[in-house]
């Protein structure tokens, strides 16, 4: 826990912010959920969740909604059986909606598009399921997916779900080392990847990272990846050593030729659906485990309620990558379980030109759009002339996720993108929660720029003090979830104790889930999430652990010690700032030391973790017990006057670091 408490955070934004946006009458009148749902859900939570579970097709109904006897290990919809892939695909075809478009896929190269109807999706998923079975994948085996944003990514996930093989999707921007540690942790039997993907107009290779990762797995466990299934996307040259016939198989050879007939088997509601790795406060990423029934109930319910989805008419677009939880819950499982029509886009917002996203909204008449504050801020910076060139009058609801949205970005989003018609739903949730937990309902709750407002019906949250007392309106504290919810994580893969320690030990007496975020209640009792209170950063909506980056730095032969903090950044929310002590034998490290270390982090973890700034320093500020005082380093990184240094073992250290900073020795 950092030395900073959220109680000491600034209230200024909050106090100034008195803009309010009422739900538009047209949305309010036909809203999927009405205001009565809050009380109804609170008065009988199990009944409310049972009602939501009815939106799925169960091959066997549950006997009990929630078994919380063995808390914090939950079982939801006990005794129920279902198949997630059947619920996302087959049942829509059986209901006569086979010709409905499930995915309007837009590739990054212009005019590279592909529409998949639900009937086509069913065939593709069935073929992929049959191919995986032929490759030896059995129920319970883990399959890693390391793909760009192409339809095969969704097909692969659903094929895994169909045969009960939990998937672990690793973001395509992660390095070979990061991939290897994930493959090892969940002991993946098969990896599904592509030759490459398109990124800013150029093909960018993926397959070589898988090859490298394979050489790095199994050092301790002896575990081995058996097969690598490769989609041909870019057609780029794989190089002389880029193919191993004993391991590698082309997707077009084994999937395209497989039978489109596959009968999905129903699995227990608690059967593992996927493992998603996320950063924690130690160097080792946590494998967050989600299971089938509760997760699908939670994601389909929230996608329907929070975006007020009208499946027959809406065109929905979530810009998140499938490598993050948002891509899992709100690109794959939620929208497809609801039979929605959606857009999926392969590339970056500015390829081949800056208006690409708005062009897509115009072309496909997108009605619901879900993105991240970091993207909105970068569009703000480019100016409204770019979006103003497009007709985005189809939009009716906008969503935001990933980090606190600054009131100015919220208002710009609503005004410039939404033409002032559209409510903005600021949705707070986490990899661990699986589904949106705190958010306005667009037809019920008014919007306040910067506030995620209140828990949605069925969810219970509070802001509490260190001791667990609910804070009064107008005060800040720690965000907790006070009741279990269906799509909650079940454990950390292979580490039940870490699961208890991380989330449930802090408020063990009360039995609350500790989210790791600070929050405030305003004078109306609405919630303002302030960001992480632990040693986790949020860079462009992506969670990165300070420890993980420190470990990467220290693995460089010239580095003796490193401390990493997240500093405020106009574009990315927070940016990675590192303070590094070099080994004596490295001297001053050489002229390119900063660049060398930045690239080293990129190689170890991936481009998103590359520090914005590295300062080579003679000492780090430590308490007498040896704990690095990141609070002081943050002061330096954010160019503030350095705060209270009285608990430092050596109070002159900060003078040395500040002197270094002022000399501008190592900033770029």
Q: Which helix (H) or strand (E) holds 23?
A: none
629 contacts: CB under 8 Å, gap ≥ 6: 3, 621, 622, 623, 647, 648
The region of 157-165, 396-404, 502-510, 569-577 touching ligand WTA under the rule CB under 6 A is: 396-404
Given the complex with ligand WTA, which of 451 and 660 has the nearer CB atom? Answer: 451
Given the complex with ligand WTA, which of 280 and 611 has the nearer CB atom? Answer: 280
Q: Which of 197, 280, 402, 443 binds ligand WTA (CB under 6 A)?
A: 402
Residue 17 CB, nearest distance to ligand WTA (Å)? 15
Residue 284 CB, nearest distance to ligand WTA (Å)? 16
Residues of this chain, 344-363, that bind ligand WTA according to CB under 6 A? none
Closest CA to 212 of 234, 180, 239: 180
Query: Interface mask (CB under 6 A) for ligand WTA, residues 449-488, using x and -?
Result: ---x------------------------------------
Residue 528 CB, nearest distance to ligand WTA (Å)? 8
Closest CA to 615 of 559, 535, 538, 555: 559
Structure tokens at 74: 């939950």
Residue nearest ligand WTA (C-beta atom): 431
160 contacts: CB under 8 Å, gap ≥ 6: 132, 137, 143, 145, 166, 167, 274
Residue 90 as a binder of ligand WTA (CB under 6 A): the answer is no
Given the complex with ligand WTA, which of 86 and 379 has the nearer CB atom? Answer: 379
Residue 461 CB, nearest distance to ligand WTA (Å)? 12
Residue 263 CB, nearest distance to ligand WTA (Å)? 34
Residues of this chain, 121-160, that bind ligand WTA according to CB under 6 A? none
Closest CA to 424 of 385, 370, 386: 370
Residue 403 as a binder of ligand WTA (CB under 6 A): the answer is yes
Residue 316 CB, nearest distance to ligand WTA (Å)? 17
Residue 443 CB, nearest distance to ligand WTA (Å)? 19
Instruction: Count Cα atoms within 13 angstroms, Cβ side, for 193.
Output: 31
Find where tokens 């000492």 sit.
Answer: 619
Q: Which helix (H) or strand (E) holds 549?
A: helix 546-554
Residue 413 as a binder of ligand WTA (CB under 6 A): the answer is no
Q: Which of 151, 298, 327, 404 binds ligand WTA (CB under 6 A)?
A: 404
Residue 324 CB, nearest distance to ligand WTA (Å)? 6
Given the complex with ligand WTA, which of 117 and 538 has the nearer CB atom? Answer: 538
User: Mapping DSSP to helix (H, G, I), strand (E, B) and coil, where does residue 238 land?
Assistant: coil
Residue 276 CB, nearest distance to ligand WTA (Å)? 8
Q: Which of 152, 426, 522, 661 binds ligand WTA (CB under 6 A)?
A: 426
The region of 78-86, 334-342, 422-430, 464-472 touching ligand WTA under the rule CB under 6 A is: 422-430
**For the chain, percent helix, then strand, then coil, each to nearest 5?**
30, 25, 45
Burial of residue 375 (CB within 10 Å: 0-12, 13-18, 19+) is buried
SS (H, E, C) 48-98: HHHHHHCCCCCCECCCEEEECCCCCCCEEEECCEECHHHHHHHHHHHHHHC
The region of 245-253, 319-327, 634-642, 643-651 touching ligand WTA under the rule CB under 6 A is: 319-327
Instruction: Please give the backbone phi and psi of residue 393, each rounded to the nearest 5 degrees, phi first.
Output: -70, -10
Residue 71 CB, nearest distance to ligand WTA (Å)? 21
Residue 517 as a binder of ligand WTA (CB under 6 A): the answer is yes
| C-alpha span between 378 and 390 (Å, rounded) | 18
Residue 167 as a binder of ligand WTA (CB under 6 A): the answer is no
Structure tokens at 615: 């300062």
Given the complex with ligand WTA, which of 345 and 514 has the nearer CB atom? Answer: 514
Residue 123 in contact with residue 260, Cβ under 8 Å? yes
Q: What angle do CA 69, 75, 76 make, to 5 degrees?
A: 120
Q: Which of 529, 580, 597, 620 binds ligand WTA (CB under 6 A)?
A: 529
Residue 514 as a binder of ligand WTA (CB under 6 A): the answer is no
Residue 367 CB, nearest distance to ligand WTA (Å)? 21
Structure tokens at 303: 């996608």
Residue 515 CB, nearest distance to ligand WTA (Å)? 6
DSSP strands (E only) in 180-325: 190-194, 196-199, 202-205, 227-231, 248-250, 267-268, 272-278, 286-291, 315-318
361 contacts: CB under 8 Å, gap ≥ 6: 317, 369, 390, 392, 394, 395
Closest CA to 299 of 280, 276, 277: 276
Characterise 294 by phi-psi region: left (phi > 0), alpha (psi -120 to 50), beta (else).
alpha
Given the complex with ligand WTA, which of 325 and 463 has the nearer CB atom? Answer: 325
Residue 349 CB, nearest distance to ligand WTA (Å)? 19
The region of 324-332, 352-360, 382-390, 611-619 touching ligand WTA under the rule CB under 6 A is: 324-332
Q: Which of 307, 428, 507, 512 binds ligand WTA (CB under 6 A)?
A: 428
| C-alpha span between 364 and 315 (Å, rounded) | 7
Burial of residue 576 (CB within 10 Å: 0-12, 13-18, 19+) is buried
Residue 143: how many CB atoms within 10 A of its CB?
26
Burial of residue 383 (CB within 10 Å: 0-12, 13-18, 19+) is exposed
The region of 57-65, 160-168, 425-433, 603-611 touching ligand WTA under the rule CB under 6 A is: 425-433
Residue 203 as a binder of ligand WTA (CB under 6 A): the answer is no
Q: Which of 137, 155, 401, 636 binds ligand WTA (CB under 6 A)?
A: 401
Given the complex with ligand WTA, which of 80 and 516 has the nearer CB atom? Answer: 516
The region of 12-20, 201-209, 266-274, 512-520 touching ligand WTA under the rule CB under 6 A is: 512-520
Q: Enumerate binding residues for ligand WTA (CB under 6 A).
A: 278, 324-326, 401-404, 426-431, 452, 515-517, 529, 531-532, 538, 543
């Amino acid at each position: 826990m950092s030395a900073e408490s959220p109680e000491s955070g600034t209230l200024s934004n909050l106090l100034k912010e008195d803009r309010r946006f009422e739900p538009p009458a047209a949305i309010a009148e036909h809203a999927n959920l009405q205001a009565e749902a809050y009380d109804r859900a609170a008065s009988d939570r199990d009944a409310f969740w049972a009602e939501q579970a009815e939106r799925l097709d169960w091959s066997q109904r549950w006997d009990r909604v929630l078994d919380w006897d063995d808390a914090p290990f939950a079982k939801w919809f006990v005794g129920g059986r279902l198949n997630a892939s059947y619920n996302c695909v087959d049942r829509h075809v059986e209901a006569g909606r086979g010709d409905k478009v499930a995915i309007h896929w837009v590739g990054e190269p212009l005019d590279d598009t592909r529409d998949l109807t639900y009937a086509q999706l069913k065939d593709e998923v069935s073929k992929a399921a049959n191919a995986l079975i032929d490759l030896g994948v059995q129920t319970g085996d883990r399959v890693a997916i390391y793909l760009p944003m192409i339809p095969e990514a969704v097909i692969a996930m659903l094929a895994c779900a169909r045969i009960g093989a939990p998937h672990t999707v690793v973001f395509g921007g992660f390095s070979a080392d990061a991939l290897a540690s994930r493959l090892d942790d969940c002991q993946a039997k098969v990896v599904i990847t592509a030759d490459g993907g398109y990124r800013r107009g150029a093909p960018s290779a993926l397959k070589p990272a898988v090859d490298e990762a394979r050489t790095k797995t199994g050092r301790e466990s002896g575990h081995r990846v058996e097969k690598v299934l490769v989609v041909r996307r870019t057609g780029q040259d794989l190089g002389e050593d880029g193919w191993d016939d004993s391991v590698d198989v082309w997707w077009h050879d084994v999937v395209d030729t497989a039978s489109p007939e596959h009968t999905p088997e129903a699995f227990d509601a608690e059967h593992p659906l996927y493992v998603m790795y996320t950063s924690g406060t130690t160097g080792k990423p946590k494998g967050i485990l989600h299971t089938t029934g509760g997760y699908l109930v939670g994601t389909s319910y929230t996608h329907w309620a929070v975006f007020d989805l009208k499946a027959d008419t809406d065109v929905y677009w979530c810009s998140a990558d499938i490598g993050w939880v948002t891509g899992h819950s709100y690109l794959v499982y939620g929208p497809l379980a609801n039979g929605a029509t959606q857009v999926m886009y392969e590339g970056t917002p500015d390829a081949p030109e800056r208006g690409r996203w708005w062009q897509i909204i115009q072309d496909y008449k997108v009605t619901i759009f879900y993105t991240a504050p970091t993207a909105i801020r970068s569009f703000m910076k480019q100016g409204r002339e770019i979006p103003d060139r497009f007709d985005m009058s189809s939009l009716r609801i906008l969503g935001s996720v990933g980090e606190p949205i600054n009131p100015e970005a919220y208002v710009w989003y609503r005004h410039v993108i939404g033409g002032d018609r559209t409510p903005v739903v600021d949705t707070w949730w986490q990899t661990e929660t699986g589904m949106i937990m705190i958010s306005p309902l667009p037809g019920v709750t008014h919007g306040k720029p910067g506030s995620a407002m209140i828990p949605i019906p069925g969810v219970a949250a509070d802001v509490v003090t260190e001791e667990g007392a609910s804070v009064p309106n107008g005060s800040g504290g720690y965000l907790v979830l006070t009741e279990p919810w269906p799509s909650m994580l079940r454990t950390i893969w292979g580490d039940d104790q870490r699961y208890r320690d991380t989330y449930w030990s802090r408020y063990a007496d009360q039995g609350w889930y500790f989210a790791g975020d600070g929050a405030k209640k305003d004078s109306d009792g609405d919630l303002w999430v302030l960001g992480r209170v632990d040693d986790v950063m949020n860079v462009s909506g992506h969670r990165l652990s300070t420890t993980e980056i420190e470990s990467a730095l220290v693995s460089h032969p010239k580095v003796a010690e490193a401390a990493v903090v997240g500093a405020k950044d106009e574009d990315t929310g927070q940016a990675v700032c590192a303070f590094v002590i070099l080994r004596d034998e490295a001297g001053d490290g050489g002229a390119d030391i900063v660049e060398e270390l930045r690239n080293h982090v990129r190689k170890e973890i991936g481009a998103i973790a590359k520090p914005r700034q590295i300062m080579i320093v003679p000492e780090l500020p430590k308490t007498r017990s040896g704990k690095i005082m990141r609070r002081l380093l943050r002061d330096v990184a954010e160019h503030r006057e350095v705060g209270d240094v009285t608990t430092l073992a050596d109070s002159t250290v900060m003078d040395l670091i500040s002197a270094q900073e002022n000399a501008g020795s190592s900033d770029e």
